[in-house]
Amino acid sequence: MSGPTKIEWTDSTWSPVTGCTKVSAGCTHCYAERMAKRLAGRAGYPEENPFAVTLHPERLDDPLRWRKPRRVFVCSMSDLFHPDVPDEFIARVWTRMHQKGDCTFQILTKRPERMAAWLSRRGNGGGFGWMTHNNTEPEKAYEGTGIIVGYANNWPLPNVWAGTSVEDQATADERIPHLLRCPAAVRFVSVEPLLGPVDLRRVVCNDGDALGESLQNLGLDAGLDWVIAGGESGPKARPCHLEHLRTVVEQCRAAGVPCCVKRLGRYPSSDRPETCWDPLWADKTCTRFSGSGLSHKGGDPIAWPEDLRVREFPKGGA
């Protein structure tokens, strides 16, 4: 499955892998799992277990057929760094991204520890890793298979953004330090679905050194370059507290880090109902959208509090 998407922060999706398993509360109402069940027996989804991790090598060359540059969400229906995805297949995905340099590829994982470990396997042209440092001998990359994911003078790939998804402070503390170890042109965090307060300033690196007293550290080369945030929108969606979302936006603004508010979710809530965009809400408690024809997923910025109408992107990319 590859093609245009309505996801607010990207242009297209590319799914050389489908299927996943749940790892935290953010996975509870997984949209990819719902879609896989609807497509069971079709579109490459197994009939018996449609959300089983499934490789689709026939989709690897899809990007090479695209004529126009675009931002591409990789494995929107899976997690490229799921343990059931072989290292070699990840390398083949990276090769296509290396070959398609006019597109920007956005990798989002809930398993950044594996992403960091995988990206650290840098070879020297003798088969020790995924990338060769010897531009004249790419055939020796990855144990003689010829798989090459980048060259010494082109690493990290300038068109690949590495991100991790978090939903609360615990997952932020657990995953973001691993992300910060990943060599990437852009490192980003998707705080979605936002299920609790998240203070990005308190994240601590794996070596025990705090990122600093201010979120401004996120603007450094060793920090974050972009933050996406939003509420849950599918069936049985959990409330998104607008004060928690507002705090993320304010942190990014103070640090000069681009922030993209994707949506408020199906059930935004607030302790300060006067901060809601009153004419377009069903009631003063901000518990649901009105029947005004606006998106029931909370995806129309015109219905948001003005200070949350933020959709910024990092510089560079397609």
What is the CB neighbour count within 10 angstroms for residue 282?
12
In a domain, 128, yes or no: no
- Of residues 266 and 218, more confidence is placed in 266
Vertex 229 angle, CA 226 and 230, to 5°: 160
Q: Is residue 36 over pLDDT 80?
A: yes
Q: What is the CB neighbour count within 10 angstroms for residue 21? A: 14
138 pLDDT tier (thresholds 50, 70, 90) = very low
Tell me what percent of the residues of the chain surpass a pLDDT of 90: 55
Answer positive or negative: Cα dihedral of 240, 243, 246, 250. Answer: negative
Structural domain contains residue 114: yes
Q: Is residue 248 part of a domain?
A: yes
Asked if 307 and 249 touch (Cβ cutoff 8 Å), the reply is yes
| CB of 184 closer than 8 Å to CB of 161 | yes
Supply the pLDDT for residue 178.
92
- According to the model, what pLDDT value does residue 296 have? 73
Query: In this model, does residue 83 exceed pLDDT 50?
Result: yes
Q: What was the pLDDT predicted at 290?
A: 44
pLDDT recorded at residue 251: 92
CB atoms within 10 A of CB 39: 15
Query: Is 138 inside any structural domain?
Result: no
Please check whether residue 261 is in contact with residue 249, taking contact to mean a CB–CB distance below 8 angstroms: yes
What pLDDT sits at residue 223?
78
pTM confidence score: 0.86
Q: What is the pLDDT of residue 102?
A: 96
Of the pLDDT bands very low, low, confident and very high (cuts 50, 70, 90), residue 317 is low
C-alpha atoms less than 13 angstroms from C-alpha of 266 in its C-beta half-sphere: 8
The crossing angle, in degrees rounded to 10, of helices 169-179 and 112-119 is 10
SS3 call for 274: helix
N-terminal to C-terminal alpha carbon distance within the chain: 21
Residue 24 lies in a domain: yes
The token duo for 297 is 């997923």
Q: Which domain holds residue 107?
A: 2-120+159-308
Q: Residue 43: its pLDDT value, please?
A: 86
Q: What are phi and psi of 135, to 5 degrees?
A: -65, -15
Among the ranges given (40-44, 61-65, 233-237, 301-305), the one the predictor scored with the smallest mean pLDDT: 301-305
Give the pLDDT band (50/70/90) at residue 276: low
- In whole angstroms, what is the distance from residue 270 CA to residue 288 CA? 11
315 in Cβ contact with 253 (< 8 Å):
no
* 132: in domain: no
pLDDT of residue 30: 95
Could you give the number of structural domains in the chain? 1
Which pLDDT belongs to residue 115? 95
137 inside domain: no
Distance CA 64, CA 245 (A): 38
pLDDT value, residue 136:
46
Calpha distance 5→178 (Å, rounded): 28
At 303 the pLDDT is 78
pLDDT of residue 208: 40
Confidence of residue 152 (pLDDT cuts 50, 70, 90): low
Give yes or no for a contact between 105 and 74, defined as CB atoms under 8 angstroms apart: yes
State the residue for tokens 């948001």. 304
Q: What is the pLDDT of residues 187-245, one digit of tens each?
A: 999 999 999 999 987 765 444 444 433 334 443 345 789 999 999 988 889 999 999 99
What pLDDT is recorded for position 4? 87
What confidence tier does 49 reach under pLDDT thresholds 50, 70, 90?
very high
Longest pairwise C-alpha distance within the chain: 66
What is the rounded average pLDDT for all residues in the chain? 82
Examine residue 237 and state whether it is found in any structural domain, yes or no.
yes
Long-range contacts (CB closer than 8 Å, 24 or more residues apart) made by 281-286: 286/242
